[in-house]
Protein backbone atom coordinates (compact mmCIF):
# COMPACT_ATOMS: atom_id res chain seq x y z
CA UNK A 1 0.00 0.00 0.00
CA UNK A 2 1.42 3.38 -1.07
CA UNK A 3 1.15 6.28 1.31
CA UNK A 4 -0.43 9.42 -0.24
CA UNK A 5 1.33 12.73 0.24
CA UNK A 6 -0.76 15.12 2.26
CA UNK A 7 -2.29 17.89 0.15
CA UNK A 8 -0.93 21.37 0.74
CA UNK A 9 -3.23 23.35 2.95
CA UNK A 10 -4.92 26.23 1.14
CA UNK A 11 -5.60 29.29 3.25
CA UNK A 12 -7.36 32.60 2.75
CA UNK A 13 -4.04 34.27 3.40
CA UNK A 14 -2.53 32.41 0.44
CA UNK A 15 -5.36 33.59 -1.79
CA UNK A 16 -4.85 37.15 -0.63
CA UNK A 17 -1.10 36.97 -1.16
CA UNK A 18 -1.60 35.68 -4.69
CA UNK A 19 -3.87 38.61 -5.50
CA UNK A 20 -1.39 41.07 -4.01
CA UNK A 21 1.38 39.61 -6.16
CA UNK A 22 -0.73 40.00 -9.28
CA UNK A 23 -1.57 43.58 -8.38
CA UNK A 24 2.11 44.35 -7.91
CA UNK A 25 2.86 42.91 -11.37
CA UNK A 26 -0.05 44.87 -12.82
CA UNK A 27 1.31 48.19 -11.58
CA UNK A 28 4.67 47.53 -13.22
CA UNK A 29 3.12 47.38 -16.68
CA UNK A 30 5.88 46.56 -19.14
CA UNK A 31 8.50 46.46 -16.39
CA UNK A 32 10.71 48.82 -14.45
CA UNK A 33 13.20 49.27 -17.30
CA UNK A 34 10.50 50.58 -19.61
CA UNK A 35 9.06 52.75 -16.84
CA UNK A 36 12.52 54.29 -16.42
CA UNK A 37 12.71 54.91 -20.18
CA UNK A 38 9.35 56.65 -20.06
CA UNK A 39 10.60 58.89 -17.27
CA UNK A 40 13.80 59.67 -19.19
CA UNK A 41 11.64 61.06 -21.99
CA UNK A 42 10.03 63.43 -19.50
CA UNK A 43 6.80 61.43 -19.54
CA UNK A 44 4.81 59.82 -16.75
CA UNK A 45 3.34 56.33 -16.96
CA UNK A 46 -0.36 55.72 -17.54
CA UNK A 47 -0.99 55.01 -13.86
CA UNK A 48 1.02 58.00 -12.70
CA UNK A 49 -0.97 60.22 -15.03
CA UNK A 50 -4.27 58.92 -13.74
CA UNK A 51 -3.11 59.55 -10.16
CA UNK A 52 -2.10 63.08 -11.17
CA UNK A 53 -5.47 63.79 -12.80
CA UNK A 54 -7.87 62.25 -10.30
CA UNK A 55 -8.47 63.05 -6.66
CA UNK A 56 -6.04 61.18 -4.43
CA UNK A 57 -7.16 57.61 -3.74
CA UNK A 58 -10.31 57.87 -5.86
CA UNK A 59 -9.26 55.72 -8.85
CA UNK A 60 -11.10 52.43 -9.18
CA UNK A 61 -9.56 50.23 -11.87
CA UNK A 62 -11.63 47.80 -13.90
CA UNK A 63 -10.56 45.00 -16.28
CA UNK A 64 -7.00 45.35 -15.05
CA UNK A 65 -6.12 41.69 -15.50
CA UNK A 66 -7.28 41.23 -19.07
CA UNK A 67 -4.82 39.48 -21.40
CA UNK A 68 -4.78 39.26 -25.18
CA UNK A 69 -5.48 35.94 -26.87
CA UNK A 70 -3.19 36.15 -29.91
CA UNK A 71 -0.27 33.95 -30.91
CA UNK A 72 1.02 35.27 -34.24
CA UNK A 73 4.47 36.88 -34.25
CA UNK A 74 5.16 35.29 -30.83
CA UNK A 75 2.50 37.40 -29.14
CA UNK A 76 1.73 34.43 -26.88
CA UNK A 77 5.18 34.98 -25.34
CA UNK A 78 4.44 38.62 -24.63
CA UNK A 79 1.39 38.81 -22.43
CA UNK A 80 1.11 41.57 -19.84
CA UNK A 81 -1.89 42.21 -17.62
CA UNK A 82 -3.96 45.23 -18.73
CA UNK A 83 -2.44 44.81 -22.22
CA UNK A 84 -1.31 48.41 -22.55
CA UNK A 85 -4.54 50.10 -21.46
CA UNK A 86 -5.53 51.25 -17.96
CA UNK A 87 -9.24 51.93 -17.46
CA UNK A 88 -11.46 52.86 -14.55
CA UNK A 89 -13.31 55.65 -12.81
CA UNK A 90 -12.80 58.14 -10.01
CA UNK A 91 -13.36 61.77 -9.15
CA UNK A 92 -11.91 65.15 -10.10
CA UNK A 93 -12.56 67.77 -7.43
CA UNK A 94 -15.22 65.42 -6.12
CA UNK A 95 -16.90 64.97 -9.47
CA UNK A 96 -17.32 61.51 -10.98
CA UNK A 97 -15.51 60.77 -14.27
CA UNK A 98 -14.46 57.74 -16.29
CA UNK A 99 -10.90 57.59 -17.57
CA UNK A 100 -8.64 55.47 -19.74
CA UNK A 101 -4.92 55.78 -20.42
CA UNK A 102 -2.60 54.07 -22.88
CA UNK A 103 0.42 52.44 -21.25
CA UNK A 104 3.44 53.07 -23.45
CA UNK A 105 5.52 50.62 -21.42
CA UNK A 106 3.51 47.71 -22.87
CA UNK A 107 4.36 47.19 -26.55
CA UNK A 108 4.62 50.94 -27.07
CA UNK A 109 1.00 51.41 -26.02
CA UNK A 110 -0.12 49.75 -29.26
CA UNK A 111 -3.88 49.44 -29.58
CA UNK A 112 -5.12 45.88 -29.86
CA UNK A 113 -8.29 43.89 -29.33
CA UNK A 114 -8.15 44.03 -25.52
CA UNK A 115 -7.51 47.80 -25.52
CA UNK A 116 -10.59 48.27 -27.70
CA UNK A 117 -12.71 46.09 -25.42
CA UNK A 118 -11.55 47.93 -22.32
CA UNK A 119 -12.09 51.43 -23.74
CA UNK A 120 -15.50 50.41 -25.10
CA UNK A 121 -16.42 49.09 -21.67
CA UNK A 122 -15.45 52.34 -19.93
CA UNK A 123 -17.31 54.37 -22.58
CA UNK A 124 -20.42 52.29 -21.96
CA UNK A 125 -20.04 52.77 -18.24
CA UNK A 126 -19.71 56.55 -18.67
CA UNK A 127 -22.87 56.63 -20.79
CA UNK A 128 -24.82 54.53 -18.28
CA UNK A 129 -23.64 56.68 -15.38
CA UNK A 130 -23.99 59.96 -17.29
CA UNK A 131 -20.48 61.22 -16.51
CA UNK A 132 -17.64 62.71 -18.59
CA UNK A 133 -15.03 60.39 -20.10
CA UNK A 134 -11.37 61.39 -20.40
CA UNK A 135 -8.92 59.53 -22.65
CA UNK A 136 -5.15 59.84 -22.22
CA UNK A 137 -3.38 58.99 -25.46
CA UNK A 138 0.25 57.84 -25.68
CA UNK A 139 0.66 54.94 -28.07
CA UNK A 140 2.18 53.64 -31.27
CA UNK A 141 -1.13 53.16 -33.08
CA UNK A 142 -2.74 49.91 -34.14
CA UNK A 143 -1.14 46.66 -33.01
CA UNK A 144 -0.20 45.34 -36.43
CA UNK A 145 0.50 41.83 -35.13
CA UNK A 146 -3.21 41.39 -34.35
CA UNK A 147 -4.33 42.30 -37.85
CA UNK A 148 -8.03 42.95 -38.27
CA UNK A 149 -8.66 42.54 -34.54
CA UNK A 150 -6.90 45.84 -33.89
CA UNK A 151 -9.07 47.49 -36.54
CA UNK A 152 -12.14 46.01 -34.86
CA UNK A 153 -10.91 47.57 -31.62
CA UNK A 154 -10.74 51.05 -33.13
CA UNK A 155 -14.13 50.69 -34.78
CA UNK A 156 -15.80 49.80 -31.48
CA UNK A 157 -14.34 52.91 -29.88
CA UNK A 158 -15.20 55.23 -32.80
CA UNK A 159 -18.80 54.03 -32.78
CA UNK A 160 -19.13 54.78 -29.08
CA UNK A 161 -17.49 58.18 -29.52
CA UNK A 162 -20.25 59.06 -31.94
CA UNK A 163 -23.06 57.62 -29.82
CA UNK A 164 -21.73 59.50 -26.79
CA UNK A 165 -21.38 62.79 -28.69
CA UNK A 166 -23.79 65.35 -27.30
CA UNK A 167 -24.77 63.02 -24.44
CA UNK A 168 -21.68 63.08 -22.20
CA UNK A 169 -18.63 65.33 -22.49
CA UNK A 170 -15.58 63.63 -24.02
CA UNK A 171 -12.08 65.02 -23.51
CA UNK A 172 -8.95 63.68 -25.21
CA UNK A 173 -5.48 64.28 -23.79
CA UNK A 174 -2.51 63.78 -26.13
CA UNK A 175 0.69 63.16 -24.16
CA UNK A 176 2.67 61.08 -26.63
CA UNK A 177 2.36 59.76 -30.17
CA UNK A 178 -1.15 59.42 -31.57
CA UNK A 179 -0.88 58.17 -35.13
CA UNK A 180 -2.90 56.58 -37.91
CA UNK A 181 -6.35 55.38 -36.92
CA UNK A 182 -5.70 56.42 -33.33
CA UNK A 183 -6.25 60.09 -34.20
CA UNK A 184 -9.90 59.64 -35.11
CA UNK A 185 -11.21 58.90 -31.64
CA UNK A 186 -9.84 62.20 -30.27
CA UNK A 187 -11.07 63.98 -33.41
CA UNK A 188 -14.66 62.97 -32.60
CA UNK A 189 -14.44 64.05 -28.96
CA UNK A 190 -15.38 67.51 -27.70
CA UNK A 191 -11.97 68.84 -26.68
CA UNK A 192 -8.36 67.89 -27.37
CA UNK A 193 -5.60 69.00 -25.00
CA UNK A 194 -1.96 68.39 -26.01
CA UNK A 195 1.28 68.37 -24.07
CA UNK A 196 3.90 70.46 -25.86
CA UNK A 197 7.04 68.68 -26.96
CA UNK A 198 5.78 65.14 -26.38
CA UNK A 199 2.22 65.01 -27.71
CA UNK A 200 1.74 64.70 -31.46
CA UNK A 201 -0.98 63.62 -33.89
CA UNK A 202 -0.75 62.64 -37.53
CA UNK A 203 -2.29 60.21 -40.02
CA UNK A 204 1.03 59.25 -41.59
CA UNK A 205 4.46 59.82 -40.08
CA UNK A 206 7.48 61.65 -41.49
CA UNK A 207 8.95 58.48 -43.08
CA UNK A 208 5.82 57.72 -45.09
CA UNK A 209 5.46 61.34 -46.14
CA UNK A 210 9.08 61.36 -47.30
CA UNK A 211 8.50 58.22 -49.37
CA UNK A 212 5.23 59.40 -50.94
CA UNK A 213 5.54 63.17 -51.36
CA UNK A 214 9.33 63.61 -50.88
CA UNK A 215 8.71 66.18 -48.13
CA UNK A 216 11.17 66.38 -45.25
CA UNK A 217 9.31 67.10 -42.03
CA UNK A 218 9.92 66.31 -38.38
CA UNK A 219 7.30 64.95 -36.01
CA UNK A 220 6.79 68.19 -34.12
CA UNK A 221 6.29 70.30 -37.25
CA UNK A 222 4.02 67.68 -38.74
CA UNK A 223 1.71 67.12 -35.81
CA UNK A 224 2.91 68.78 -32.63
CA UNK A 225 0.87 70.90 -30.23
CA UNK A 226 1.75 74.20 -31.91
CA UNK A 227 0.71 72.88 -35.31
CA UNK A 228 -2.64 71.56 -34.16
CA UNK A 229 -3.61 74.45 -31.90
CA UNK A 230 -2.75 77.19 -34.39
CA UNK A 231 -2.70 75.86 -37.97
CA UNK A 232 -4.98 72.84 -38.31
CA UNK A 233 -7.32 73.62 -35.42
CA UNK A 234 -7.47 69.92 -34.53
CA UNK A 235 -6.52 70.61 -30.90
CA UNK A 236 -8.11 73.20 -28.62
CA UNK A 237 -5.50 73.63 -25.88
CA UNK A 238 -1.86 72.90 -25.11
CA UNK A 239 0.42 73.15 -22.09
CA UNK A 240 4.19 72.83 -21.66
CA UNK A 241 3.96 70.17 -18.94
CA UNK A 242 1.82 67.16 -18.10
CA UNK A 243 0.70 68.88 -14.89
CA UNK A 244 -0.33 71.94 -16.93
CA UNK A 245 -2.18 69.75 -19.39
CA UNK A 246 -4.26 68.18 -16.63
CA UNK A 247 -4.91 71.63 -15.13
CA UNK A 248 -6.61 72.56 -18.40
CA UNK A 249 -8.74 69.40 -18.29
CA UNK A 250 -9.86 70.28 -14.77
CA UNK A 251 -10.61 73.85 -15.88
CA UNK A 252 -12.82 72.63 -18.74
CA UNK A 253 -14.80 70.49 -16.32
CA UNK A 254 -15.55 73.54 -14.16
CA UNK A 255 -17.70 75.03 -16.92
CA UNK A 256 -19.54 71.99 -18.30
CA UNK A 257 -22.18 69.61 -16.92
CA UNK A 258 -21.98 65.86 -16.40
CA UNK A 259 -24.31 65.13 -19.31
CA UNK A 260 -26.94 66.57 -21.63
CA UNK A 261 -29.70 66.16 -19.06
CA UNK A 262 -27.97 68.32 -16.45
CA UNK A 263 -26.68 71.88 -16.25
CA UNK A 264 -23.29 73.27 -15.25
CA UNK A 265 -22.77 74.05 -11.60
CA UNK A 266 -23.48 77.64 -10.58
CA UNK A 267 -20.63 79.05 -8.49
CA UNK A 268 -20.90 81.83 -5.92
CA UNK A 269 -19.47 85.18 -7.00
CA UNK A 270 -18.85 88.52 -5.35
CA UNK A 271 -19.08 90.33 -8.69
CA UNK A 272 -22.32 92.31 -8.60
CA UNK A 273 -24.80 91.62 -11.44
CA UNK A 274 -25.45 95.39 -11.44
CA UNK A 275 -21.81 96.34 -12.00
CA UNK A 276 -21.62 98.97 -14.74
CA UNK A 277 -18.14 99.23 -16.24
CA UNK A 278 -17.79 102.81 -17.46
CA UNK A 279 -14.64 101.90 -19.43
CA UNK A 280 -16.88 100.23 -22.00
CA UNK A 281 -17.97 103.69 -23.14
CA UNK A 282 -14.59 104.11 -24.85
CA UNK A 283 -13.45 100.52 -25.45
CA UNK A 284 -15.02 100.42 -28.91
CA UNK A 285 -13.85 103.37 -31.05
CA UNK A 286 -16.52 105.44 -32.77
CA UNK A 287 -14.53 105.28 -36.01
CA UNK A 288 -15.55 101.97 -37.65
CA UNK A 289 -12.08 101.68 -39.21
CA UNK A 290 -10.25 101.82 -35.88
CA UNK A 291 -9.49 98.49 -34.27
CA UNK A 292 -9.82 97.28 -30.67
CA UNK A 293 -9.48 94.01 -28.75
CA UNK A 294 -12.83 92.33 -28.14
CA UNK A 295 -11.30 90.51 -25.14
CA UNK A 296 -11.48 93.88 -23.35
CA UNK A 297 -15.23 93.91 -23.92
CA UNK A 298 -15.72 90.29 -22.87
CA UNK A 299 -13.69 90.62 -19.68
CA UNK A 300 -15.54 93.79 -18.71
CA UNK A 301 -18.97 92.18 -19.08
CA UNK A 302 -18.56 88.67 -17.64
CA UNK A 303 -17.75 87.82 -14.03
CA UNK A 304 -14.26 89.11 -13.25
CA UNK A 305 -11.53 86.64 -14.18
CA UNK A 306 -13.98 84.02 -15.42
CA UNK A 307 -13.32 84.04 -19.16
CA UNK A 308 -11.63 80.83 -20.33
CA UNK A 309 -10.77 81.01 -24.02
CA UNK A 310 -11.06 77.93 -26.23
CA UNK A 311 -9.07 77.54 -29.48
CA UNK A 312 -7.18 80.71 -28.54
CA UNK A 313 -4.44 80.30 -31.18
CA UNK A 314 -6.61 79.13 -34.07
CA UNK A 315 -8.67 81.39 -36.36
CA UNK A 316 -7.98 84.38 -34.13
CA UNK A 317 -10.39 86.61 -36.06
CA UNK A 318 -13.04 84.93 -33.90
CA UNK A 319 -13.05 84.36 -30.15
CA UNK A 320 -14.89 81.54 -28.37
CA UNK A 321 -14.73 80.39 -24.78
CA UNK A 322 -16.47 79.84 -21.49
CA UNK A 323 -17.25 82.42 -18.84
CA UNK A 324 -19.63 83.07 -15.98
CA UNK A 325 -22.41 85.60 -15.56
CA UNK A 326 -23.47 85.99 -11.95
CA UNK A 327 -21.92 82.57 -11.32
CA UNK A 328 -23.71 80.82 -14.21
CA UNK A 329 -21.65 79.11 -16.90
CA UNK A 330 -22.09 80.49 -20.42
CA UNK A 331 -20.45 80.16 -23.81
CA UNK A 332 -19.07 83.32 -25.39
CA UNK A 333 -18.70 83.90 -29.13
CA UNK A 334 -17.26 87.11 -30.58
CA UNK A 335 -15.73 88.59 -33.68
CA UNK A 336 -12.21 89.90 -33.09
CA UNK A 337 -11.67 93.28 -34.83
CA UNK A 338 -7.99 93.19 -33.83
CA UNK A 339 -7.38 90.32 -36.29
CA UNK A 340 -8.42 90.62 -39.94
CA UNK A 341 -11.01 93.23 -38.85
CA UNK A 342 -13.09 90.38 -37.41
CA UNK A 343 -14.10 89.10 -40.84
CA UNK A 344 -15.58 85.60 -41.05
CA UNK A 345 -13.49 83.13 -43.05
CA UNK A 346 -13.45 79.35 -43.37
CA UNK A 347 -11.61 78.54 -40.15
CA UNK A 348 -13.44 81.05 -37.96
CA UNK A 349 -16.76 79.75 -39.30
CA UNK A 350 -15.86 76.20 -38.30
CA UNK A 351 -14.59 77.39 -34.92
CA UNK A 352 -17.76 79.30 -34.08
CA UNK A 353 -20.19 76.67 -35.37
CA UNK A 354 -18.61 73.81 -33.47
CA UNK A 355 -18.47 75.74 -30.22
CA UNK A 356 -22.10 76.87 -30.46
CA UNK A 357 -23.17 73.28 -31.11
CA UNK A 358 -21.21 72.05 -28.08
CA UNK A 359 -22.87 74.64 -25.85
CA UNK A 360 -26.29 73.76 -27.20
CA UNK A 361 -25.66 70.05 -26.61
CA UNK A 362 -24.86 70.62 -22.95
CA UNK A 363 -27.34 73.31 -21.90
CA UNK A 364 -24.86 76.18 -21.82
CA UNK A 365 -26.36 79.56 -22.86
CA UNK A 366 -24.59 81.43 -25.66
CA UNK A 367 -23.64 85.11 -25.47
CA UNK A 368 -22.50 86.62 -28.78
CA UNK A 369 -20.65 89.90 -29.35
CA UNK A 370 -21.02 90.97 -32.97
CA UNK A 371 -18.64 93.28 -34.79
CA UNK A 372 -18.17 91.87 -38.26
CA UNK A 373 -17.80 93.50 -41.70
CA UNK A 374 -18.87 90.31 -43.49
CA UNK A 375 -17.49 87.10 -44.95
CA UNK A 376 -13.97 87.04 -46.41
CA UNK A 377 -13.96 87.80 -50.16
CA UNK A 378 -11.59 86.33 -52.74
CA UNK A 379 -11.22 83.49 -55.23
CA UNK A 380 -9.22 81.30 -52.85
CA UNK A 381 -11.87 81.69 -50.15
CA UNK A 382 -14.68 80.90 -52.58
CA UNK A 383 -12.87 77.94 -54.11
CA UNK A 384 -12.19 76.49 -50.67
CA UNK A 385 -15.86 76.59 -49.78
CA UNK A 386 -16.62 79.71 -47.72
CA UNK A 387 -20.28 79.22 -48.64
CA UNK A 388 -20.34 75.72 -47.18
CA UNK A 389 -18.33 76.67 -44.10
CA UNK A 390 -20.16 79.92 -43.43
CA UNK A 391 -23.46 78.04 -43.61
CA UNK A 392 -22.33 76.04 -40.58
CA UNK A 393 -22.72 79.14 -38.40
CA UNK A 394 -26.24 79.67 -39.68
CA UNK A 395 -27.02 76.03 -39.00
CA UNK A 396 -25.53 76.06 -35.49
CA UNK A 397 -27.39 79.14 -34.28
CA UNK A 398 -30.64 78.12 -35.97
CA UNK A 399 -30.75 74.71 -34.30
CA UNK A 400 -29.72 75.99 -30.87
CA UNK A 401 -32.36 75.58 -28.18
CA UNK A 402 -30.39 77.07 -25.28
CA UNK A 403 -30.80 80.77 -24.43
CA UNK A 404 -29.05 82.83 -27.11
CA UNK A 405 -28.30 86.49 -26.36
CA UNK A 406 -26.53 88.77 -28.84
CA UNK A 407 -24.89 92.16 -28.32
CA UNK A 408 -24.02 94.15 -31.45
CA UNK A 409 -21.11 96.37 -30.48
CA UNK A 410 -20.33 97.96 -33.85
CA UNK A 411 -20.43 96.48 -37.36
CA UNK A 412 -23.11 93.98 -38.31
CA UNK A 413 -23.03 93.87 -42.09
CA UNK A 414 -24.96 91.69 -44.51
CA UNK A 415 -24.85 87.92 -44.13
CA UNK A 416 -22.50 88.22 -41.17
CA UNK A 417 -25.17 90.18 -39.28
CA UNK A 418 -27.65 87.37 -39.88
CA UNK A 419 -25.19 84.58 -39.07
CA UNK A 420 -23.90 85.98 -35.77
CA UNK A 421 -26.87 85.08 -33.61
CA UNK A 422 -29.41 87.48 -35.11
CA UNK A 423 -33.09 87.68 -34.25
CA UNK A 424 -33.78 86.10 -37.65
CA UNK A 425 -32.09 82.89 -36.48
CA UNK A 426 -34.33 83.02 -33.39
CA UNK A 427 -31.93 84.56 -30.89
CA UNK A 428 -33.87 85.17 -27.69
CA UNK A 429 -32.56 88.64 -27.02
CA UNK A 430 -30.63 91.06 -29.24
CA UNK A 431 -29.11 94.25 -27.86
CA UNK A 432 -27.17 96.90 -29.76
CA UNK A 433 -24.85 99.63 -28.59
CA UNK A 434 -25.56 103.19 -29.83
CA UNK A 435 -22.69 103.11 -32.34
CA UNK A 436 -23.82 99.84 -33.92
CA UNK A 437 -24.11 99.71 -37.71
CA UNK A 438 -26.73 97.20 -38.81
CA UNK A 439 -26.85 97.34 -42.57
CA UNK A 440 -26.34 95.38 -45.77
CA UNK A 441 -22.82 96.73 -46.18
CA UNK A 442 -20.54 99.57 -45.13
CA UNK A 443 -21.52 103.07 -46.15
CA UNK A 444 -18.68 103.55 -48.67
CA UNK A 445 -19.48 100.32 -50.50
CA UNK A 446 -23.19 101.07 -50.52
CA UNK A 447 -22.63 104.56 -51.94
CA UNK A 448 -20.45 103.17 -54.73
CA UNK A 449 -23.24 100.81 -55.78
CA UNK A 450 -26.19 103.15 -55.34
CA UNK A 451 -24.67 106.38 -56.63
CA UNK A 452 -21.49 105.32 -58.40
CA UNK A 453 -22.56 106.20 -61.96
CA UNK A 454 -24.05 109.54 -60.94
CA UNK A 455 -20.97 110.55 -58.97
CA UNK A 456 -18.62 109.43 -61.73
CA UNK A 457 -20.43 111.58 -64.29
CA UNK A 458 -20.40 114.57 -61.95
CA UNK A 459 -16.70 114.08 -61.18
CA UNK A 460 -15.82 114.28 -64.88
CA UNK A 461 -17.36 117.76 -65.13
CA UNK A 462 -16.81 119.15 -61.61
CA UNK A 463 -14.55 117.15 -59.23
CA UNK A 464 -15.08 119.52 -56.28
CA UNK A 465 -18.87 119.36 -56.53
CA UNK A 466 -18.66 115.57 -56.88
CA UNK A 467 -16.60 115.33 -53.69
CA UNK A 468 -19.06 117.50 -51.76
CA UNK A 469 -22.00 115.55 -53.16
CA UNK A 470 -20.42 112.25 -52.13
CA UNK A 471 -19.84 113.53 -48.59
CA UNK A 472 -23.48 114.66 -48.38
CA UNK A 473 -24.78 111.31 -49.64
CA UNK A 474 -22.47 109.44 -47.28
CA UNK A 475 -23.70 111.39 -44.25
CA UNK A 476 -27.32 110.84 -45.26
CA UNK A 477 -26.74 107.09 -45.69
CA UNK A 478 -25.07 106.79 -42.29
CA UNK A 479 -27.87 108.79 -40.69
CA UNK A 480 -30.57 106.63 -42.20
CA UNK A 481 -28.99 103.18 -42.38
CA UNK A 482 -25.71 102.82 -40.46
CA UNK A 483 -27.23 102.84 -37.00
CA UNK A 484 -29.18 100.47 -34.74
CA UNK A 485 -32.43 102.41 -34.67
CA UNK A 486 -33.98 101.17 -37.91
CA UNK A 487 -33.46 97.58 -36.71
CA UNK A 488 -34.86 98.51 -33.28
CA UNK A 489 -37.89 100.13 -34.91
CA UNK A 490 -38.53 96.88 -36.77
CA UNK A 491 -38.13 94.71 -33.66
CA UNK A 492 -34.95 93.09 -34.93
CA UNK A 493 -33.10 94.64 -31.99
CA UNK A 494 -34.86 94.32 -28.65
CA UNK A 495 -33.19 97.32 -27.11
CA UNK A 496 -30.46 99.83 -27.82
CA UNK A 497 -28.39 100.01 -24.65
CA UNK A 498 -25.43 101.89 -23.27
CA UNK A 499 -22.26 99.77 -23.23
CA UNK A 500 -22.02 99.88 -19.43
CA UNK A 501 -25.57 98.46 -19.15
CA UNK A 502 -24.60 95.27 -20.98
CA UNK A 503 -23.74 93.12 -17.96
CA UNK A 504 -26.96 93.85 -16.10
CA UNK A 505 -29.14 93.38 -19.19
CA UNK A 506 -27.52 90.06 -20.14
CA UNK A 507 -27.76 88.65 -16.61
CA UNK A 508 -31.42 89.67 -16.34
CA UNK A 509 -32.14 88.05 -19.70
CA UNK A 510 -30.38 84.82 -18.69
CA UNK A 511 -32.43 84.72 -15.51
CA UNK A 512 -35.63 85.24 -17.51
CA UNK A 513 -34.70 82.47 -19.97
CA UNK A 514 -33.50 79.93 -17.41
CA UNK A 515 -36.49 77.65 -17.99
CA UNK A 516 -36.69 78.18 -21.74
CA UNK A 517 -38.49 75.41 -23.62
CA UNK A 518 -37.96 75.11 -27.37
CA UNK A 519 -39.74 72.75 -29.73
CA UNK A 520 -38.21 71.48 -32.99
CA UNK A 521 -39.78 69.55 -35.86
CA UNK A 522 -39.70 65.77 -35.47
CA UNK A 523 -36.69 64.40 -37.36
CA UNK A 524 -33.68 62.13 -36.89
CA UNK A 525 -31.21 65.00 -37.28
CA UNK A 526 -30.42 67.84 -39.62
CA UNK A 527 -27.93 67.61 -42.46
CA UNK A 528 -25.34 70.23 -41.51
CA UNK A 529 -23.18 71.37 -44.47
CA UNK A 530 -20.00 69.63 -43.39
Angle formed by the axes of helices 346-361 and 386-399, to 10°?
20
Which of 118, 153, 112 lies closest to 133, judged by CA?
118
Asked if 131 and 94 touch (Cβ cutoff 8 Å), the reply is no
Quick count: other Cβ atoms within 10 Å of Cβ 245?
Answer: 26
Which of 498, 366, 358 lies closest to 428, judged by CA?
366
Residue among 84, 181, 199, 223 flagged as catalytic: 181
Q: Is 179 a catalytic residue?
A: no
Residue among 101, 235, 412, 416 flagged as catalytic: 416
d(CA 470, CA 467): 5
How crowded is the C-beta side of 500, counted as CA atoms within 13 Å?
Answer: 8
Asked if 178 and 201 touch (Cβ cutoff 8 Å), the reply is yes
Asked if 322 and 255 touch (Cβ cutoff 8 Å), the reply is yes
- DSSP assignment, residue 402? S
Asked if 176 and 138 touch (Cβ cutoff 8 Å), the reply is yes
d(CA 82, CA 92): 23
Q: How far is CA 194 from CA 132, 161, 183, 189, in A?
A: 18, 19, 12, 14
Which of 91, 84, 17, 3 lies closest to 54, judged by CA?
91
Q: How far is CA 502 from CA 165, 313, 330, in A?
A: 34, 27, 15
Residue among 147, 205, 414, 415 flagged as catalytic: 415
User: What are residue 103's phi and psi, to 5 degrees?
Assistant: -105, 105
Residue among 180, 197, 327, 445 flagged as catalytic: 180
Asked if 288 and 342 touch (Cβ cutoff 8 Å), the reply is no
Dihedral sign, CA of 50, 54, 60, 62? negative
Q: Is 415 a catalytic residue?
A: yes
Which residues, at least 6 apart from 345, have a Cβ–Cβ distance to it below 8 Å? 315, 317, 375, 376, 381, 386
- Sequential DSSP letters for 106-137: TGGG-B-HHHHHHHHHHHHHHHHHT--EEEEE
d(CA 41, CA 343): 42
Which residue numbers are catalytic? 180-181, 415-416
Amino acid sequence: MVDKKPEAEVTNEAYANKLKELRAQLKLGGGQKRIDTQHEKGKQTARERIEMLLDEGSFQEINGMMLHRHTDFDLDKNKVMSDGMVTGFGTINGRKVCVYAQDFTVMGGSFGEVAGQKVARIQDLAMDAGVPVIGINDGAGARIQEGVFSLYAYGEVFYRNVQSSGVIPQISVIMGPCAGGAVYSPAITDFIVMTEGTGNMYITGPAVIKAVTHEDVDTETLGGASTHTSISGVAHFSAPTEEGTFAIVKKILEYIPDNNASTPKVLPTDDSPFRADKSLQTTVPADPNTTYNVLDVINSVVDRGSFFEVHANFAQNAVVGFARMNGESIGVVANQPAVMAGVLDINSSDKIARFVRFCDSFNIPVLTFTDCPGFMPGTMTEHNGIIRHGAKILFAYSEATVPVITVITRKAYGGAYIAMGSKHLKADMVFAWPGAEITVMGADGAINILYGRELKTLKESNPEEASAKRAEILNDYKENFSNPYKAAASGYVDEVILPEETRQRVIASLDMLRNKVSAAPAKKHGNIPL
